[in-house]
Chain A
Amino acid sequence: MVDAVQATAPHGRSPVNSVQRRKRRRQWLPYVLLIPAIVMELLIHIIPMLIGVVMSFFKMTQLYLGNWQQAPFAHLDNYRLAMDFNQPAGKALLHSFAVTIAFTVLVLAFSWSLGLAAAVLTQRPFRGRGIVRTLLLVPFALPIFASVITWNFMAQRDTGVINHVLVNQLHLTQGNPFWLIGGNSFVTLTLVVIWRTWPFAFLMMSAGMQSIPADVYEAAVLDGAGVFAQLRRVTLPLLAPVNRVLVLVLFLWTFNDFTTPYTLFGDTTPVQADLISIHIYQNSFGTWNFGTGSAMSVLLLLFLMVVTGLYLFFVNRRTDSA
C-alpha cells in the first residue's frame, strides 16, 4: 500500500488537518478512480446482461417481441430444453460446446506460442525490426470482414489459392479437398483465427517485455544463462502479470468469437465448426426465440465463470507460494 508521506505543512495549514485530509482522500480515492468504469460497465454491460438473464426465464419468442412485458413466465423450460442431452437441441448444444473447447484450446496454444516466439525473436534490436514488427501486425490492422473474406476466397475448392498450391503446384494431394464444408472446415476456422490472433499476443507480450530492465538479463548472462535459460528464468516470470491476464482474456475472447465464423462461413456454418456463439445466435436471432438463446448464454456464462474461477485460484496459489 502506498503510504502517504508525512509531510511538512504546506501553505501554512496545521499539520494535523493536512494529514487527516490526505488520509480521507486516500480512503475514497480508489473508489473515485473507479467511478467512470463502473458507470460505463453498468450501463452497457451489466444491465443488458441482467436483462438477458431475466429473458431466459420467459417465453420470449416472436409472439412477444413487440410487447415483451406480456411474455409468459417459462420457469426453467428454456433451460430444460437446452440441457436435455437426449434430444436434438441439447445434443447440438453439447456438440457445439465440445467443438468450441477444442477450437479455443488449439487457438490459444498456437497463438500464445507464436506470439511469444516472435516477441522473443524481436526483443533485441536488429536491422529492419520496426518493419518486421509492423508487417507482422498487419493482419490486425485489416478490417475483419476483408481479411476473413480473403481466407474464404483462398479456401474455395475450385478457385482458391490453397488448393491451387496444394494440388496443382505442390501435388501434395489429389482431388481438390473442401476447406469450407465438411471436416476440414474446423481446420480452416482454427487456422484463420490463429492467423488473426497471434499478432495480438505478440503485441501484448512485446509490450510487456519492454518493461523488463536490461540489467536483469545482464545478471542472468553473467550467471551463465543461455537463451532458453534466460527465457525460463527472466522473461517468463517477469511477464507473468501480463501473461496471467493475456491467457485468460484470449481464452474468453476466442471462446466467444462470433465475427470470424459469421464472416468466414456466411449464412450456414458447417456442423463441424459450429462454435457456441454462432450456435446461440442461430438459436435466438435465427429462430426468433430469445428465451432459449438467453438460457444457453446463461449456461455458457456459468461454465466460463467456473473455468475462470479455477484458473484464478490456481494462478494465485502459484504466485502466493512463489
Chain B
Amino acid sequence: MHEPNWFRWTRRVGLFVLLVFTLVPIYVMVSSAVKPLQDVQGAFTWWPSHFTLGPFRDMWTTIPLARYFVNSLVVAAASSLASVLIALLAAYSISRYRFRGRQTFSVVVLSTQMFPGILFLLPLFVMFVNISNVTGINLYGSRLGLILTFLTFTLPFAIWMLIGYLDSIPRELDEAALVDGNGPLGALFRVVVPAAIPGIVAVAIYAFMTAWGEVLFASVMTDDSTRTLAVGLRGYATQNNVYWNQIMAASLTVSVPIVIGFLMLQRFMVAGMTAGSVK
C-alpha cells in the first residue's frame, strides 16, 4: 500500500520520541546493573566508573532470586491461562447470546473494579483461613490461593475486553460454523477463537503481567517458600543498604524471558487471520 512520505517521516520521528521516552529508564537500569555499589549511591553518571558483573553474581544470594522467579512464573502463567479461559467462556456467552441477567452480570463484574484492592485484603485472608479450616485446602501461604486471587482480579477486565474483541468479529463466522454442523462450543473454539487470537493474546499478556507485578496481596498471602518476585525484590532494600545495582540486575534478568515471550507472541498480533474467511 502506498504510504505518503510525510507519514513515513512522522512514523520515524514519532516512534523515535516514544522509544526514547520508553527506553531512558531502561538504560538507567542497564547501566546501573553493571555499576559498583558506590556508583549507584552517589551522583548519577551515564557511564559506570568501571564495569562489574558483581551485581549479577551477588543478586542470587542476597535474596533467593531463583525460587522467587519460579514462583512468579508458575503463579502468573497459571492464573493468566485460567483467567483467559474462564473469561473467554463468559465473554462468548455475553457477546453472542441475549439472556436474562446478562446486564446484571456485566454490571456486577464491572463494579468489582471500583473497589480499592486494599479493602479486599483482610476479608479475603479471613475467608481463605476459614476455607482451609473447613475443607483443609490450604489457600493462604500457598501458590493456589495466590493463583485464585490473581485470576479473579484479572477476570473482569479480561471478560470486558474479550467481549469487545468478540463483538467485532462478525456473527457470520459463527453462523458459517454452525451450518457446518458444529455446536456453539465447536463454533467458539474452531472459528471464533482463531479469529480473536490477537485479542486473546493481548488479554493473556495483561493477565500475566498483572499477576507478575502484584505486590500487596502477594506480600500477605505468601511465605518464604511461595513468595513472588514482585514482593521478593524488595528484599534488596535492607536495613542498611539499598542494593540498587542488584535490584536492576535482578529485574533485567527476570525480564529477559518475558521480553522474549513478547517477541514470540508478536506473530499472533498480526492481521490476516480473519480476512477472507467469511465467504
Say if the beta carbon of A84 comes within 8 Å of chain B: no
Q: Which residues of A contact B15 (CB under 8 A)?
A: 118, 121-122, 132, 136
A241 contacts partner chain B, Cβ-Cβ < 8 Å: yes
* CB-defined A-B contacts under 8 Å, sample of 23: A4-B178, A25-B184, A34-B93, A37-B86, A38-B105, A44-B149, A44-B152, A45-B112, A49-B119, A49-B123, A51-B123, A117-B14, A118-B14, A135-B22, A139-B25, A207-B198, A207-B199, A211-B195, A211-B196, A249-B160, A253-B113, A281-B116, A308-B110
Give chain B's interface residues, CB within 8 Å of chain A.
1, 3-4, 7, 10-11, 14-15, 18-19, 21-26, 28-29, 32, 40-44, 46, 86-87, 89-90, 92-94, 96-99, 101-102, 105, 108-120, 122-124, 126-127, 148-149, 151-153, 155-157, 159-161, 163-165, 167-169, 171, 174-175, 178-179, 181, 183-184, 195-196, 198-199, 201-202, 205-206, 209, 212-216, 229-230, 233-234, 244, 247-248, 250-251, 254-255, 258-259, 262-263, 266, 269-271, 273-275
Given contacts A154-B25, A301-B111, are A259 and B233 in contact (CB under 8 A)? no
User: Taking A135-B22, A164-B43 as contacts, is the C-beta distance between A41 and B259 under 8 angstroms?
Assistant: no
- Asked if B164 and A145 make an inter-chain contact with CB atoms under 8 angstroms apart, the answer reads no
> Are A146's CB and B90's CB within 8 A?
no
Decide: B118 and A144 in contact? CB cutoff 8 A: no
* Residues of chain A with a CB closer than 8 A to B25's CB: 139, 147, 150-151, 154, 195
A25→B185 CA distance, assembly (Å): 11
The answer to whether A206 and B269 touch across the interface, beta carbons within 8 angstroms, is yes
Answer whether residue A103 sits at the interface, using C-beta atoms and an 8 A cutoff. Answer: no
> Which listed residue (A30, A121, A300) contacts B93, Cβ 8 A?
A30
The 3 lowest CB-CB distance pairs between A and B, nearest first, are: A146-B251, A44-B152, A304-B114
B interface SS class:
helix
Taking the closest CB of chain B, its distance from the CB of A4, in whole angstroms, is 7
Interface residue SS majority, chain A:
helix
